[in-house]
Amino acid sequence: MNRLSTASVVALLASLGTAQAQTSIEWWHAMGGELGAKLEEVAQGFNDSQDDYRVMPSYKGTYPETMTAAIAAFRANQQPAIVQVFEVGTGTMMAAEGAIVPVHQLMEEHGQDFDADAFLPSVVGYYTDTDGNMLSMPFNSSTPILYYNKSVFETAGLDPEQPPRTWAELEQFSRQIMESGAASCGFTTQWVSWIQTENLSAWHNQPIGTLENGFGGTEARLSLNGPVQVKHWGNLKSWADEGLFKYGGPVGADGAAPMFYSQECAMMMGSSASRAGVIANASAFDLGFGMLPYYDDVEGAPQNSIIGGATLWVLSGKSDEEYAAAAAFFDYLTQPEVQADWASATGYLPITEAAREAMADYYAENPGADTGINQITLNDPTENSKGLRFGNYVQIRGIIDEEFEQLLAGSKDAQGALDSVVARGDDLLEQFQAQ
């Protein structure tokens, strides 16, 4: 009995010793629902893979709420080691000198096998400095694609296997769909800012700002009132007046998806990460996938689309042991099998070429699932198509929505609306620079 008790005590002490040696870190994120459950599964997978570290995910609300909470916590010296920040917060995070630990530095200092060249340039370009150093770790990256109703296409006499490739074809298809009575609307879209302005510009290799779309410094200013953007916003206004296009609302356009699911609109441009949800809601018709349309009279188009989603930032003020835990977790996240599992379950993009190759069977078994990754890697990104980096950009997106609604209301023409976006946006950029 005494021997058993002694053995139990030894085992207990050994167990306690292991627990005490384990380093735990917090990961604040903005994913609820099914995505949040999958995120928790990823963290648990890392925790189960080794005994030295433990990552503890914590949901903090929407992207803006999570970012705001992290900033407040940092000021109170209560910050997490890792925080998930959406892509338009990148400029703000970069400007917070001393508040972050760049990913390339973290991985090097903690001996992780980190090869920046293994990552897809079109995915990580958004999150690198002008010297090519990765600042944050891509986690949930997406890009907009075209969803279309094959059943409506067939009823309208269109080839259900052929989505429109150009804006001219999209206009023609929309007109034919409406005239045939197959649907009462040609197309709708989510995110006028992200899809019909920022991605429209990248897809046509057009700048939306000076100094490499803001990558070159806080002196950058907006320039998204060029001929291609003005032409496109003008077309959207004309198509809206004809009923070919229906506006789904500001920000993410909550009204767009219901119009597509109800078969009121035959096509919808939305995030590749919405794929699982669109499939679930499109049970009444055959669903097709296509790349974004382009204007074939713009030289160089189509170029490549840009990403949305979020990355993981490491905050300063932590111990070496906590940073070692963060580095080990990031190394785990980049493993091809982990990436392939996350991307196939959610619709987000794999972040490395190895992960993309690991998803070959999944892509073969799920036609259209590779539309986003094929589109974002269509060409090597240029200064105009690797992304954007501006401070106060969350507010600037709000201005884009406001001015687009002024356009639809007839209060301004396309040139006037985009000129206002630039003038009002530049005021915010000047304020950000002066901080």
* Amino acid letter, 202: A
Question: For residue 7, what pLDDT is reported?
Answer: 45
- How many whole angstroms separate alpha carbon 161 and alpha carbon 353? 28
Question: For residue 33, what pLDDT is reported?
Answer: 85
Say which DSSP state 125 is in. G
Is the separation of the CB atoms in 308 and 141 below 8 Å?
yes
- How many whole angstroms separate alpha carbon 106 and alpha carbon 326? 8
> Radius of gyration of the chain from Cα atoms?
23
- How many whole angstroms separate alpha carbon 219 and alpha carbon 432? 10
This prediction has a pTM of: 0.88
227, 282, 383, 426, 428 from 219: Cα distances, Å: 23, 46, 16, 10, 12
- How many whole angstroms separate alpha carbon 127 and alpha carbon 330? 15
- pLDDT values of the chain reduced to their tens digit, one per residue, 435 residues: 344 444 444 444 444 444 458 999 999 999 988 889 999 999 999 999 999 999 999 999 988 899 989 999 999 999 999 999 988 888 888 877 789 999 999 999 999 988 888 988 888 888 888 788 899 999 999 999 999 999 999 999 999 999 999 999 999 999 999 999 999 999 999 999 999 999 999 999 999 999 999 988 999 999 999 999 999 999 999 999 999 999 999 989 999 999 999 999 999 999 998 888 899 999 999 999 999 999 999 999 999 999 998 999 999 999 999 999 999 999 999 999 999 999 998 889 998 999 999 999 999 999 999 999 999 999 999 999 989 989 999 899 999 999 999 999 999 999 999 999 999 999 999 999 998
Question: For residue 239, what pLDDT is reported?
Answer: 98
Task: Return the ∠ at Cα 418 (arms to 387 and 237), rounded to 5°.
Answer: 105
The residues spanned by each domain of the chain are 23-141+307-365, 144-305+391-434
Fold classification of 144-305+391-434 (topology level): D-Maltodextrin-Binding Protein; domain 2 (3.40.190)
* Amino acid letter, 268: M
Architecture of the domain spanning 23-141+307-365? 3-Layer(aba) Sandwich (3.40)
| β-bridge pairing 144-149 and 23-29 | unpaired
Is the separation of the CB atoms in 219 and 213 below 8 Å?
no
Helices 393-409 and 227-242: crossing angle in degrees, nearest 10, is: 50
Question: For residue 70, what pLDDT is reported?
Answer: 94
Is the separation of the CB atoms in 61 and 29 below 8 Å?
no
| β-bridge pairing 265-271 and 137-142 | unpaired
- How many whole angstroms separate alpha carbon 170 and alpha carbon 408? 20
CA–chain centroid gap for 327, Å, is 22
Q: What dihedral do alpha carbons 348, 392, 226, 295 form, nearest 10°? A: 10
Half-sphere exposure of 88 (CA within 13 A, CB side): 13
Question: For residue 5, what pLDDT is reported?
Answer: 47
- How many whole angstroms separate alpha carbon 364 and alpha carbon 116? 28
- How many whole angstroms separate alpha carbon 257 and alpha carbon 147? 10
Q: What dihedral do alpha carbons 91, 95, 98, 99 form, nearest 10°? A: -40
Say which DSSP state 61 is in. S
Question: For residue 168, what pLDDT is reported?
Answer: 98
Say which DSSP state 34 is in. H
Identical topology for domains 23-141+307-365 and 144-305+391-434: yes
